Structure 1
Amino acid sequence: MKTQVKALVVGGGAIGTSIAYHLAKAGWDDVMLIERDELTSGSTWHAAGLLPLFNMSYATTHIHKYSVDFYKGLEEETGLNAGFAVVGNLRMAQTDARMDEYMLYASTAETCDVPYEWLTPDEIKARWPLIRTDDLKGALYHNSDGYINPADVTQAMAKGARQHGAEIVRRLQADSFEWTGTHWNVTCTKMVEKGGNLVPGDEQVVITAEHVVTASGNHAQRTAKMLGIKIPAIPVEHQFIVMDQDPALVEYRKEGGAEHPVIRDADSQSYVREERGGWILGVYEKNAPACFEHGVPDSFRADLFPLALDRIEEQYMAMIHRIPTCEESGLKDDFNGPICYTPDGNPLVGPAPGLRNMWLAEGFSFGITAAGGTGYYLAQMMVEGEAEIDMASLDPKRYAQNWMTTEFAARKNEECYDHVYILHHPDEERPACRPLRTGPVYDRQKALGAQFGWVNGWERPNYYGPLDAATTFDEESRSFRRGKWWEYAVEEAKAIRNGVGLVDASAFTKHVIKGPGATEFLDWFTCNKLPKVGRINLTYALTAAGTTRTEYTIVRMKEHEYYIVSAGAWTAYDADFLRKAAEDKMESFGYIEIQDVTTQWGVFAIAGPKSREVLNELVVDADPDTVLSNKRFPWLTARQIELGMCPVNAIRVAYTGELGWELHHPIEMQTYLWDQLMTAGEKHGMKLVGARAQNWLRQEKSYRAFGNELGRDATPAEADLPRFIDLSKDFHGKEAMQATGVRAKCCTLLIDGPEDADPWGREVLYTHDGIRVGRLTSGGFSVAFGQSIGMGYVTPDLAVEGTKLKVKMQNKLWDATVTCDSPYDPSNAAIRKDG
């Protein structure tokens, strides 16, 4: 057994073996995988082996598609049959809303080359006569996936890993990790079996590894403790039952009937597939408990929990309704085992927070489906520096270490489990563990009708509804079309365009960077010129591949002191990247101090033609009427001002494209400032505005958003932001960006869509000749133009004003026209308005 390797993978389930396989195949010598028990002894062994391509996430859809395609070629490469039954996947809908969900997903699927077809209830019945269809609206059918044997596919990937040079060692448990500054020392203990239990033996070995990947599945909490970090991957009990033979099914197959696809009755929270003349029923019921919150007991190996049939009675009766012939089939076998979840259902894939060369691949609720693609894209990140798709949505740091707790993860994971088959509205807000992080004015906002969204744990107003709203999480307000909130967002957007509105932007990420090396570091770290003292600049930090890693607004406070603002959802993600980059350059540039001050400063954004008038009511100055004038306070500058008794770092910029300021204030004075602004604003008709209206307004200005238009799969040049790229200087990722060129280009489109719906930013784009040319990354409604609007990427030749395209919404193609950049007020006259 080797004791010095390039990469050590910890965990021998489907995820771990795939990572070892893809790292070795990518050319890394000395890849080793260790497993504390036997391969597949974790959740892999009792997984149902389904391969659902359906996913609303662009990144996860790519991962799942790669897996399905990859598994089909494993036998040819390894000689081992992975047990892939390509029977298809039938997603049935009992309601129009479910069909709307499928239509939105289908448009997303087309952007990832995932094939599908639509089936009517009669077409379903004609193909599979045992299925009851009289209460169905239709179905979405993927004919290219199905189910696979989890143990077989894992062993096939393990054999492939060995063929590419990887070493796999069983019965070896990782007990500690020590970073030396250049590599990891991993102390491992050889496990022995005693009385049916697996226990640590007396023999230990230290493995030296340049990189470590943890794929520890249900043992993620033990891994987290050893690494000194928090990982919100906690298992939830998942049940499925195997039924005796169904005589009608046996007869149907005997007469030449094709094997049924995996039957997903989402409105009944269940899936069904054939199993040797009978059926397997799997459910995602409510009240399934989390387990192993503090670690897996040593006595738990390839074990199961007692079946809790009372929890799944409703789903069992729904199966009998859907497949009436199964009613007389008895129960043959049952499974109730731990399946790891995360609060949002997406796995944690990428660099561990605060650690070097430590990679996480944890929290896979659909581990078999995701295994192949996770290994492929994580290997790209490790070997090449970046994956070909944007993996930020799966980054472990989306749950920050300073607020994520065991209790939060356990409760949110339970919620995520019972939400697997609910309607996943794009405007969905889940209620568990809320409110958690609230600003001082939360109660005031709630009393005024705020309906809150959740971002990085923070409560942030999405819109302001009627004061008699039944609940903050009003399900009736959501839709795949225009939900009830839409009319309120329209009025909020109009208020900013025509009058004045106030937005709570306190969730913004904020850092202070200072020290002798700060200026030289930031000049290298970002692609735009640094601003002068008192000025601001918009800029981007790049990946080593030249793509966009983060967007920053930089305020230069002093010669070597900067206040930088970035997206609220990415605080830990940005902080980790900043600190690691600064540490790497400290020796070259000098001392650099980085402070995360997100929770120290609140932010109110006031915007609209009357915003100056509101602030003039409060500003304290010898000549208050001129403080906010263009002469004393020009656009793209920052000034220290006083609003009543509150000191404010005011930044003249507005994400809405109107005259406006961001008012960065001490968080302990937020309530005072809010009350002052509300009093002053009442005189001028100021309206409270939420994030949804703000999102529409920024699209009218073609302002790119990180996580939408900006990400690790496109360069700033491809985002069409040449004015923010200073090619006269050297900066991180510059050469890679230039070498990449422009593969696709960002543009803004005005859309003649349906009367009752707007795009969500997940839709596919076509030419009028039916050629797929791109996808939307944002969508919404434009109050300035009275029609739908969207932003997205198309081939460079089409990103020209006036180009006619088609966007797919509700399974129809609608006219879309590429407009100029910043179609609303392209000259920026409104934002520069003097007074």
Structure 2
Amino acid sequence: MKTQVKALVVGGGAIGTSIAYHLARAGWSDVMLIERDELTSGSTWHAAGLLPLFNMSYATTHIHQYSVEFYKTLEEETGLNPGFFIVGNLRMAQTQARMDEYMLYAATAETCGVPYEWMTPDAIKERWPLVRTEDLEGAIYHPTDGYINPADLTMAMAKGARQRGVAIERKWQADGFEWKGDHWDVTLTKMIERGGNLVPGEEQVVVSAEHVVTASGNHAQRTAKMLGIKMPAIPVEHQFIVTEPDPALVAYRKAGGAEHPVLRDADAKWYVREERGGWILGPYERNAPARFEYGVPDSFRADLFPLDLERIEEEYMSMIHRIPSSEEVGLKDDFNGPICYTPDGNPLVGPAPGLRNMWLAEGFSFGITAAGGTGHYLAQLMVGGEAEIDMASLDPKRFSQSWMTTEFAARKNEEAYDHVYILHHPDEERPAARPLRTAPAYDRQKALGAQFGWVNGWERPNYYGPLDAPESFDHDARSFRRGGWWQYAVEEAKAIREGVGLIDASAFTKHVVKGPGATAFLDWFTCNKLPRVGRINLTYALTDHGTTRTEYTIVRIKEHEYYCVSSGGWTEYDGDYLRKAAADKAGEFGYIEIQDVTTQWGVFAIAGPKTRDVLKEVIRDADPDTALSNKRFPWLSARPIELGMCPVNAIRVAYTGELGWELHHPIEMQNYLWDLLLAAGEKHGLKLVGARAQNWLRQEKSYRAFGNELGRDATPLEADLPRFVDLDKEFHGKAAMEATGIRSKCVTLLIDGPEDADPWGREALYLPDAPLRGDGGTRVGRLTSGGYSVAFGKSIGMGYVKPDQAKVGQKLLVRMQDKLWPAEVVEDSPYDPTNANIRVDG
């Protein structure tokens, strides 16, 4: 066994073998993979081998698409057939709402180049007569999809890895990780058979590895404990059953009938595929329990749990309804094994929080589908420093180390399993483990009709519904069109444009950066000029490749003290990057102190033409009439003020594009300040406003949002933000940004869409220049945000197009509900482009 390697991969399932293969293919010749048992002995061996391309995530869709294409190449390279059966994937819909979901997904699929077809119930019946279709609305069909043999796939990737120089060692368990400053020392223990169990033997080896990747599957909790971190990757029971041969199916195939595609009846919560003349049924039932919350017992190897047929009875009966010939068929085999999940159903892929050169690839509920693409894109991250797609949505640090617990992960993972086949509305809010993180004003907001969204564990008002709503009004109703909440968001947006509104933005991430090296560090770390004391600047931290890693609003408190505000959903993600970068530069710039003060400061954003009228009621100043004037408190400045008895660090900035301030206040005084502002605002018509209206308003101002327009697949210049980039100074990522050029460009569009729907920011953009299914043209880009504009009375969106199509006045088409709707590129900040409203004096 090697004792010194470039990269050590821990885990020999489909994920681990793919990562080892792709690291070697990317040029790392000295790679070793270890497996505590046999290859495929974890969840891989009992996986059903399906390859579902359907996914609402842009990054995950790319990962799945890569896998499907990659698996087709393995036999030619390795001589091993991975058992890939390209039979297609048919997702059936019993309701129009489900078809709406498929239409939104289809728009996302087009942006990633995933082919699909629409099928009517009659067309399904004609092609696959064993399927009952009279109660279906239709289906979406992926002809390139199918299923694969997980064990054969893993062995093919393992052989391909060996051919590229990867060493694969079985029956070795990782029992300790120690960072030595420039490499990891990993203690490995030889596993031996004893009484049918696999137990640690006496033999141990220490392997030095520059990089370590953990792909430990069901053993993720054990791995996390050894690393001293938290990972919300916990398995949930998943059952599937195999029937005896179905005579009707056997006869159909004998008569020349084509193999059925993988059938998915999402409304019935199951998948079905053919298996040796019978059927495999895989249900996603309610009440499937989480397992191994604190680690996998040593006695559990390639084992299964007892089958619980009562739990899946409803799904089993619905299979009989959909495929009537299966009613008389007996059960041949059954499986109930652990499948790892995460709270949002997406895997954990990327750098481990707080650790150097430690990479996680854990929590894969669809591991066979994701294995190829995960290996490919993670290898890009490790070898090249960045992937060609933005992987932030899969980053392990999206679940914060500071508040995440085992109980939270277990309950959310059970929910994620149960929600595999629910309608995935873009405005979906899942209820498990909520409320958990609440700002002090939560109860007051709830009493006033707030309907909350979930952001990094925080409860944040999405909108304020009616207190006197009739019983027929469902606050929990979701839609792929304009839901019940839409009209309330419209009124909230109008209130800010015409009067005054109050938004709770306490979830914002907040860091204090100070010390003798703080100024030099932040000047290098971010691309814009640093503000003067008492002023603010919007700026970006870049990746090594010059793309956008983080967006910051920086307030300069003192000469060498800064208050840095970033997105509320990315606290751990931003903080980890900031701390690691500062540590790397401390020797060059001097002492730098970084404090996460997110939970110490609440934030209320007050905005609208009447904002000064409200604040003048409560500000304590020698001259309250001028305290908020342009002279004393100019736009893009910050200073301490007193509102009643509450000390406030006020920042004159508004994400909504109106006159406004962010009121950063001690969190323990939040209820006092809330009551004070509401009382003062009553006579001025103050309205409470949620995040959905705010999202619409920021698009009217073309304000880019991190995770939407801003990310690791585009530079600030491609985001069309040159005013926030100081090319006269040197900063991290500058040379790479300039070398990248402008591959695509961010634009704002006004859209003449359907009367009952707005875009969600996942839709494809086209030129109206050539036939596309009879109604469109050439695809030139995609939306990254979408919504409704109260200023223009129509849909609005932001997105990326090829530079040639980014000019103002360019006519485009947006795919919504499987139709193409006219759109036009408009000037940046179409509402109040001169910022007159923001700068208004008073």
Indicate yes or no: 2:836 matched with 1:829: yes
* Count of residue pairs the alignment pairs up: 835
Which residue is 1:431 aligned to? 431
Letter in 2 for 1:799: A
Which whole-Å CA distance do the structure 2 matches of 1:218 and 1:786 have between them? 51
Indicate yes or no: 2:814 matched with 1:807: yes
Which whole-Å CA distance do the structure 1 matches of 2:117 and 2:634 have between them? 56
User: 1:622 deviation in Å?
Assistant: 0.6
Contact 2:475–2:485 (Cα < 8 Å) also in 1: no
Once the two structures are superposed, the pairs formed by residues 690-701 of structure 1 within 5 Å of their partners are 690-701=690-701
Identity of aligned residues (%): 83
2:317 match: secondary structure: helix
CA 190–519 in structure 1, closer or farther in 2 if over 3 Å, else same: same
Which residue is 1:790 aligned to? 797
Contact 1:431–1:473 (Cα < 8 Å) also in 2: no
Which residue is 1:120 aligned to? 120
Deviations 1:804-831 (A, max 9, x none): 0000000000000000000000000000
| TM-score (norm: length of structure 1) | 0.99
Deviations 1:401-451 (A, max 9, x none): 010000000000000000000000000000000000000000000000000
Which whole-Å CA distance do the structure 2 matches of 1:292 and 1:606 have between them? 47
Letter in 2 for 1:112: C
Which residue is 2:774 aligned to? none
Contact 2:475–2:484 (Cα < 8 Å) also in 1: no
Which residue is 2:74 aligned to? 74
Letter in 1 for 2:490: V
Which residue is 1:818 aligned to? 825
Letter in 2 for 1:218: N
2:147 match: secondary structure: coil
1:827 match: secondary structure: coil
Deviations 1:161-209 (A, max 9, x none): 0011100000000000000111000001000001110000000000000
Which residue is 1:708 aligned to? 708
Deviations 1:551-596 (A, max 9, x none): 0000000000000100000000000000000000000000000000
Which residue is 1:35 aligned to? 35
2:780 match: secondary structure: strand
Letter in 1 for 2:520: E
Indicate yes or no: 2:533 matched with 1:533: yes
Contact 2:474–2:484 (Cα < 8 Å) also in 1: no
Structural RMSD (CA): 1.0
Which residue is 1:518 aligned to? 518
Which residue is 1:83 aligned to? 83
Indicate yes or no: 2:226 matched with 1:219: no
Which whole-Å CA distance do the structure 2 matches of 1:609 and 1:279 have between them? 64
Contact 1:429–1:473 (Cα < 8 Å) also in 2: no
Which residue is 1:721 aligned to? 721
Which whole-Å CA distance do the structure 2 matches of 1:113 and 1:743 have between them? 18
User: 1:293 deviation in Å?
Assistant: 0.2
Letter in 2 for 1:544: D
User: 1:478 deviation in Å?
Assistant: 1.2
Indicate yes or no: 2:608 matched with 1:601: no
User: 1:720 deviation in Å?
Assistant: 0.2
Indicate yes or no: 2:628 matched with 1:621: no
Which whole-Å CA distance do the structure 1 matches of 2:656 and 2:195 have between them? 67
Which whole-Å CA distance do the structure 1 matches of 2:568 and 2:392 have between them? 14
Letter in 1 for 2:831: Y
User: 1:477 deviation in Å?
Assistant: 2.8
Which residue is 1:501 aligned to? 501
Letter in 2 for 1:591: Y
Once the two structures are superposed, the pairs formed by residues 569-584 of structure 1 within 5 Å of their partners are 569-584=569-584
CA 394–58 in structure 1, closer or farther in 2 if over 3 Å, else same: same
2:838 match: secondary structure: coil
User: 1:512 deviation in Å?
Assistant: 0.3
Contact 2:451–2:475 (Cα < 8 Å) also in 1: no
Which residue is 2:349 aligned to? 349
User: 1:472 deviation in Å?
Assistant: 15
2:267 match: secondary structure: helix
User: 1:29 deviation in Å?
Assistant: 1.8
Contact 1:451–1:472 (Cα < 8 Å) also in 2: no
- 5+ residue gaps in structure 2? 770-776
Contact 1:425–1:480 (Cα < 8 Å) also in 2: yes
CA 469–423 in structure 1, closer or farther in 2 if over 3 Å, else same: farther
Which whole-Å CA distance do the structure 1 matches of 2:14 and 2:473 have between them? 37
Contact 1:75–1:81 (Cα < 8 Å) also in 2: yes
User: 1:736 deviation in Å?
Assistant: 0.4
1:683 match: secondary structure: helix
Which residue is 1:394 aligned to? 394
Which whole-Å CA distance do the structure 1 matches of 2:346 and 2:98 have between them? 21
Which residue is 1:773 aligned to? 780
Once the two structures are superposed, the pairs formed by residues 315-394 of structure 1 within 5 Å of their partners are 315-394=315-394
Which whole-Å CA distance do the structure 1 matches of 2:549 and 2:474 have between them? 35
Letter in 1 for 2:781: G
User: 1:683 deviation in Å?
Assistant: 1.0
Contact 2:465–2:475 (Cα < 8 Å) also in 1: no
Deviations 1:114-150 (A, max 9, x none): 0000000000001000000000000000000100000
Which residue is 1:165 aligned to? 165
Which whole-Å CA distance do the structure 2 matches of 1:726 and 1:167 have between them? 47
Letter in 2 for 1:623: D
1:831 match: secondary structure: helix
Which whole-Å CA distance do the structure 2 matches of 1:470 and 1:309 have between them? 41
Letter in 2 for 1:140: I
Deviations 1:225-261 (A, max 9, x none): 0000000000000000000000000000000000000
| TM-score (norm: length of structure 2) | 0.99
2:185 match: secondary structure: strand
CA 389–469 in structure 1, closer or farther in 2 if over 3 Å, else same: farther
Once the two structures are superposed, the pairs formed by residues 731-750 of structure 1 within 5 Å of their partners are 731-750=731-750
Which whole-Å CA distance do the structure 2 matches of 1:477 and 1:253 have between them? 43
Letter in 2 for 1:779: G
2:230 match: secondary structure: coil
CA 473–55 in structure 1, closer or farther in 2 if over 3 Å, else same: farther
Which whole-Å CA distance do the structure 2 matches of 1:473 and 1:74 have between them? 54
Which whole-Å CA distance do the structure 1 matches of 2:429 and 2:824 have between them? 32
User: 1:302 deviation in Å?
Assistant: 0.1
User: 1:41 deviation in Å?
Assistant: 0.1
Which whole-Å CA distance do the structure 1 matches of 2:363 and 2:666 have between them? 37
Which whole-Å CA distance do the structure 2 matches of 1:483 and 1:476 have between them? 10
User: 1:85 deviation in Å?
Assistant: 0.3
